[in-house]
Homo-oligomer: A and B are copies of this chain.
Amino acid sequence: MAIWLDRQADDFEQRFAAFLTTKREASEDVNVAARAIIADVVARGDVALKEYSLKFDALDFDRVPMRVAPEDLDAAYASIEPSVRDALHLAAERIEKHHRRQLPKDDIYEDALGVTLGSRWTAIEAVGLYVPGGMASYPSSVLMNAIPAKVAGVPRIVIVVPAREGTINPAVLAAAKIAGVDEIYRIGGAQAVAALAYGTETITPVAKITGPGNAFVAAAKRHVFGTVGIDMIAGPSEVLVIADRDNDPDWLAADLLAQAEHDTGAQSILITDDADFGRAVEAAVERQLKLLSRSETASASWRDFGAIIVVPDLEATAPLADRIAAEHLEIATADPEALMAKIRNAGAFFLGRHTPEVVGDYVGGSNHVLPTARSARFSSGLSVLDYMKRSSILKLGTEQLRALGPAAVTLATCEGLDAHARSVAIRLNPGE
A→B interface (CB under 8 Å): 80-81, 83-84, 86-88, 90-91, 97-98, 101-102, 107, 109, 111, 115-117, 119-120, 122-125, 135, 138-140, 171, 207-208, 222, 225-226, 228-229, 233, 235, 248, 250-251, 254-255, 257-258, 260-262, 288, 291-294, 298, 322, 336, 340, 344-352, 354-367, 370-371, 373, 375-381, 383, 385, 389-398, 400-401, 404-405, 407-408, 410-412, 414-424, 426-427, 430
Contacts and interface: CB of A to CB of B under 8 A. Distances in A.
A208 B208 CA distance: 22
In this complex, the member of A357, A375, A398 whose beta carbon has the largest number of chain B beta carbons within 10 angstroms is A375
B364 A254 contact: no
B407 A90 contact: yes
Given A228-B378, A251-B426, A378-B228, A351 B222 contact: no
Nearest to A113: B94
B364 A404 contact: yes
Nearest to A388: B380
A348 B207 CA distance: 18
What number of copies of this chain does the assembly contain? 2
Contacts of A401: 354-355, 359
A235 B226 CA distance: 9
A341 to B, nearest CB: 9
A352 B419 contact: no
Nearest to A412: B358
A261 B371 CA distance: 40
A81 B412 CA distance: 13
Nearest to A374: B227
A258 B411 contact: no
A136 B115 CA distance: 28
A258 B404 contact: no
Contact of A404 (B125, B233, B359, B426): B359
A420 B380 contact: no
A31 B133 CA distance: 31
A391 to B, nearest CB: 5
Nearest to A421: B358
B418 A292 contact: yes
Given A367-B392, A407-B91, A411-B140, A418 B261 contact: yes
A362 B411 contact: yes
A378 B208 contact: yes
Given A251-B423, A322-B125, A416-B293, A349 B111 contact: no
B423 A362 contact: no
Given A86-B407, A349-B392, A359-B424, 17 more contacts: A90-B404, A90-B407, A101-B109, A125-B322, A229-B375, A288-B419, A291-B418, A294-B418, A348-B391, A352-B396, A354-B397, A354-B398, A354-B401, A363-B407, A381-B390, A381-B392, A383-B390
In this complex, the member of A207, A379, A410, A420 whose beta carbon has the largest number of chain B beta carbons within 10 angstroms is A420
Contacts of A233: 225-226
B347 A419 contact: no
Contact of A397 (B291, B352, B410): B352
Contacts of A102: 107, 119
26 contacts: A83-B410, A84-B411, A87-B408, A102-B119, A115-B365, A122-B345, A171-B414, A225-B233, A226-B233, A228-B378, A229-B375, A229-B378, A251-B426, A251-B427, A254-B423, A255-B423, A257-B423, A258-B423, A261-B417, A292-B419, A354-B398, A356-B423, A359-B424, A366-B393, A376-B389, A377-B389
